[in-house]
């Protein structure tokens, strides 16, 4: 049996990132989610339940706004840090005061280097193959096994910064790549639902304290892995990071 999942790690990541936002600057929940590798909803939950001890007023929604009761509490902090209100009076001018996100990302990476575990901890990218393949209408539906094989070969050639890549195939796509390990890429066949297999694999990896990133845009799947502290990356980022050849006519 694996170790108990550690959702506290995601909480610690979010709070660490908030503490690094410079005074007089703000970011959105989405900015923070992209930085930490989770969902904006998860960031909002962490801030609502654990944010009292960090400068929470430096994290707003995408419009720079808060609900009325929170807005009143933010006013004195913004005034002290020189953050001006938006013309509507319902929030701050987030476009003017947004933090330098690349600099924040660099500081965050240095701060969390030791948060995620010991020497056996791996960075694992779990790829929702159906979602990544289906994100571009390039005719993949005419040859699902071929599309799976192209994605697999592209990942083997360019696995990115991850220690390991787990490519999850379902349905007809399974015949395109056998269950095997090639380079940093392990291909697994979902016996039924691909989503169910992805959740199971993410849970096992999280229990063993690996850093897990899931490549998908499936909101239902994201909601299922969110409690595990899994980071999320968009299918387009995977496609941009590899040389994914188009199908042959």
Predicted pLDDT of residue 4: 35
Between 6 and 87, where is the model more confident? 87
* Rg of the chain taking only CA atoms, in angstroms: 20
Domain-located, residue 118: no
Same domain, 81 and 22: yes
Same domain, 97 and 139: no
Please give the share of the chain, as a percent, with pLDDT higher than 70: 90
Domain-located, residue 12: yes
Domain-located, residue 50: yes
- Write the CATH number for 80: 1.10.10.10
Domain-located, residue 247: no
Query: What are 191-239's pLDDT values in tens digits?
Result: 999 999 999 999 999 888 788 999 999 999 999 998 888 888 888 888 8
Same domain, 44 and 106: yes
Same domain, 69 and 160: no
Domain-located, residue 117: no
- Write the CATH number for 203: 3.40.50.1010
Predicted pLDDT of residue 1: 32
Same domain, 49 and 79: yes
Tell me the average pLDDT across 1-24.
Answer: 74
Predicted pLDDT of residue 224: 92
Name the residue range of residue 214's domain.
Answer: 123-241
Strands 164-169 and 181-182: unpaired
Sheet holding 185-189, edge to edge: 181-182, 185-189, 164-169, 123-128, 211-215, 231-233
Same domain, 153 and 81: no
Same domain, 237 and 135: yes
Same domain, 232 and 169: yes
Same domain, 87 and 128: no
Domain-located, residue 3: no
Predicted pLDDT of residue 5: 38
Domain-located, residue 196: yes
Same domain, 158 and 107: no
Same domain, 143 and 199: yes
Predicted pLDDT of residue 246: 62
Tell me the average pLDDT across 26-50.
Answer: 90
Same domain, 187 and 102: no
Predicted pLDDT of residue 242: 76
Query: What are 50-63's pLDDT values in tens digits?
Result: 888 889 999 999 99
- Of 58, 84, 111, which one is at a domain's C-terminal end? 111
Q: How many domains would you assign to the chain?
A: 2
Predicted confidence (pLDDT) at residue 249 exceeds the cutoff of 70: no
Domain-located, residue 33: yes
Predicted pLDDT of residue 131: 94
Query: What are 63-79's pLDDT values in tens digits?
Result: 999 998 899 999 999 99
- Of 83, 111, 139, which one is at a domain's C-terminal end? 111
In angstroms, the CA 44 to CA 173 distance is 36
Tell me the average pLDDT across 29-51.
Answer: 89
- Of 111, 138, 160, which one is at a domain's C-terminal end? 111
Predicted pLDDT of residue 37: 83
Predicted confidence (pLDDT) at residue 85 exceeds the cutoff of 50: yes
* Angle subtended at Cα 124 by Cα 119 and Cα 125, rounded to the nearest 5 degrees: 160
Query: What are 116-174's pLDDT values in tens digits?
Result: 555 457 889 999 999 999 888 888 888 899 999 999 999 998 877 788 999 999 999 99
């Amino acid at each position: 049996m694996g170790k108990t999942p550690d959702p506290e790690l995601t909480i610690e990541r979010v709070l660490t990132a908030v503490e690094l936002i410079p005074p007089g600057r703000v970011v959105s929940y989405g900015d923070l989610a992209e930085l930490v590798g989770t969902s904006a909803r998860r960031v909002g939950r962490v801030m609502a339940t654990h944010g009292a001890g960090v400068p929470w007023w430096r994290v707003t929604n995408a419009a720079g706004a808060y609900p009325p009761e929170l807005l009143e509490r933010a006013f004195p902090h913004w005034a002290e840090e020189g953050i001006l209100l938006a013309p509507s009076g319902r929030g701050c001018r987030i476009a003017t005061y947004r933090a330098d996100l690349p600099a924040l990302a660099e500081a965050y990476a240095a701060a969390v280097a030791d948060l995620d575990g010991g020497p056996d901890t791996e960075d694992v990218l779990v790829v929702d193959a159906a979602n990544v393949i289906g994100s571009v209408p390039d005719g993949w539906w005419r040859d699902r096994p071929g599309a799976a094989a192209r994605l697999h070969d592209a990942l083997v050639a360019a696995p990115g910064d991850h220690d390991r890549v787990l490519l999850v195939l379902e349905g007809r796509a399974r015949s395109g790549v056998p269950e095997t390990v090639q380079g940093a890429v392990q291909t697994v066949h979902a016996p039924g639902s691909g989503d169910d297999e992805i959740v199971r694999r993410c849970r096992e990896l999280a229990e063993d304290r690996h850093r897990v990133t899931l490549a998908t845009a499936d909101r239902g799947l994201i909601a299922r892995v969110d409690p595990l502290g899994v980071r999320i990356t968009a299918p387009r980022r995977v496609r941009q990071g590899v040389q994914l050849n188009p199908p042959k006519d």
